[in-house]
Amino acid sequence: MSSTVNLHKKYLLLAHSLAKKKFGNTFPNPSVGCVLVKNNKIIAQASTGKNGRPHAEEIVLKKAGNKSIGSTLYVTLEPCNHKSEHGSCTDQIIQSRIKKIFIAKVDLDPRTKYKSIKKLKKNGIKINVGITSYKTDLLNKFFFNSLINKRPFIKVKMAISQDEKIAWKDYSSKWISNNKSRNYAHKLRAQSQAILTTSKTIIKDNPRFTIRNKNKIIKYMPVIIIDKNLKISLNTYLIKSLTKRRIIIFTSQSNRKFNKLKSLGCEIFLLKEHKNTNEFYLPLIMKKILSLNINNILVESGGIFFTKLLLCNLIDEFHIFKSSLKIGQSGKPMIINKKFKDLSLEEISKKKFGKDVYQQLIIKK
């Protein structure tokens, strides 16, 4: 690789590292980083703002002011072509008289895809695309995936025993994984926009679904609940913490409890059961979740719901923490009528947390 390509790669890698630092704070938007360079000196750098706005390019241009004239921009994703408060990023870049842009990856959002690149070129700006596209792909996999599949990116997190059980016979609440695994599980939550769960898991566990660091609550995760018969109690921790988080419920019951939950601030949606199964059609729920601007979810449920998602091909990533303890035959299984090892999965990462083994897996292509 020539030394000039190396130099461009160095600035792009810096932009990627800025994007990585912000990952988890920009949903539903991807996390993007950019660096503005002039005469081989960095004049400004930025990443996407909280909840996706302002865009990294807008911040960097504001920071640089007139210094941007004749500079080179390194950005991890094609700048947007759709209108924002001060015009699209593409228009702002043209106005700033930047000379050259290195774009790591084309944006798959149909509003932007190649449109910005064309417009920038038409305005005399030199464009290079793709030197580090793999980096943007890896970090913002959820974003591209949800655009392609027209549903959220769906990850499942599960703690299982050595004999692949997720709970004891009587659903007694005991930890399966150890402290270190649970700390890592909080990182997985931080990389997700919302948790998806069932009324049954809520009834059995009364989960908090927060992100904690040394027992201090850092975030109350938004939670989506599948509750066909509206069984969750108004006294659960989730409902009690409603003012601090977004709660979305899917149910088939339009009754007093429905109205009560709505008046408390839940976003509650009435759905019809599928006539063949008497259950909700999960692909439809996923479409609805996407329409609510949620494109990256972490499923935390038991084996029944996990199996339903598997049957509908609705899992993009598996995050499995396997502990060394055994629960025994009477325990609740992680999958119904199947063994986990019989799924055709590919391991993409593996870690050890004390005696627990963590695996990140995807469906084998």
Ligand X SMILES: NC(=O)c1ccc[n+]([C@@H]2O[C@H](COP(=O)([O-])OP(=O)(O)OC[C@H]3O[C@@H](n4cnc5c(N)ncnc54)[C@H](OP(=O)(O)O)[C@@H]3O)[C@@H](O)[C@H]2O)c1
Part in contact with ligand X (CB under 6 A); list of ranges 64-72, 83-91, 93-101, 296-304: 296-304
Rounded CA gap, 88 and 78, in Å? Answer: 12
Q: Among residues 115 and 157, whose Cβ is nearest to ligand X? A: 157
- Answer yes or no whether residue 300 interacts with ligand X by CB under 6 A: yes
Instruction: Give the residue among 253, 240, 250 at the shortest CA–CA distance from 207.
Output: 240
- Of 8, 308, 319, 322, the one binding ligand X (CB under 6 A) is 308
- Answer yes or no whether residue 176 interacts with ligand X by CB under 6 A: yes
- Of 10, 83, 118, 171, the one binding ligand X (CB under 6 A) is 171
Give the torsion sign (CA, 143, 146, 152, 154): negative
N-terminal to C-terminal alpha carbon distance within the chain: 32
Which residue matches tokens 């990850």? Answer: 155
Part in contact with ligand X (CB under 6 A); list of ranges 17-25, 101-109, 197-205, 213-221: 197-205
- Of 38, 332, 338, 355, the one binding ligand X (CB under 6 A) is 332
CB 137 within 8 A of CB 144: yes
- Answer yes or no whether residue 301 interacts with ligand X by CB under 6 A: yes
CA distances from 261 to 59, 206, 207, 245 (A): 40, 17, 18, 14
- Answer yes or no whether residue 280 interacts with ligand X by CB under 6 A: yes
Rounded CA gap, 137 and 122, in Å? Answer: 27
Q: Is 57 a catalytic residue?
A: yes
- Of 45, 81, 198, 323, the one binding ligand X (CB under 6 A) is 198
CB within 8 A of 299, min separation 6: which ones? 154, 155, 156, 157, 195, 196, 197, 305, 306, 309, 315
Q: Among residues 10 and 169, whose Cβ is nearest to ligand X? A: 169
Judged by the rule CB under 6 A, the positions of this chain that interact with ligand X are 158-159, 166-167, 171, 176, 198-201, 204-205, 226, 228-229, 279-280, 282, 300-305, 308, 332
Please give the positions annotated as active site. 57
